Amino acid sequence: MDYRNLKNPIVMKIVQNAIKFDNDLLKNEEVVKILLKKEKIKLNEDEQKLLEEIFEKLHLAKDNIQLSKN
């Protein structure tokens, strides 16, 4: 795939970084476009709380990975 043909610079940068970091999922331009597609999502209070917990755990995992690299 010629990445210069990608029209969206954000998609292009994500795909380039996916190649750099060997992330197979994000190497796919269509997957990236789907993930970036803006869509209004309505969540109830319980769903919002669960989503908040997921992001807190992801943030903690990211911090732990960064600490282990140092």
Q: Is the pLDDT of residue 56 over 90?
A: yes
Place of tokens 């940068």: 13
Q: Is the pLDDT of residue 7 over 80?
A: no
Give CA–CA dist 51/43, Å, rounded. 9
39: three-class secondary structure by DSSP = coil
CB distance 16 to 3 below 8 Å = yes
Give CA–CA dist 17/33, Å, rounded. 15
User: How confident is the model at residue 63, as a pLDDT?
Assistant: 81
| Global confidence as pTM | 0.47
Listed by start position, the domains of the chain span 1-38, 41-69
Q: Given pLDDT bands bounded at 50, 70 and 90, which one contains residue 53? A: very high
Q: Is the pLDDT of residue 2 over 80?
A: no
CB distance 32 to 15 below 8 Å = yes
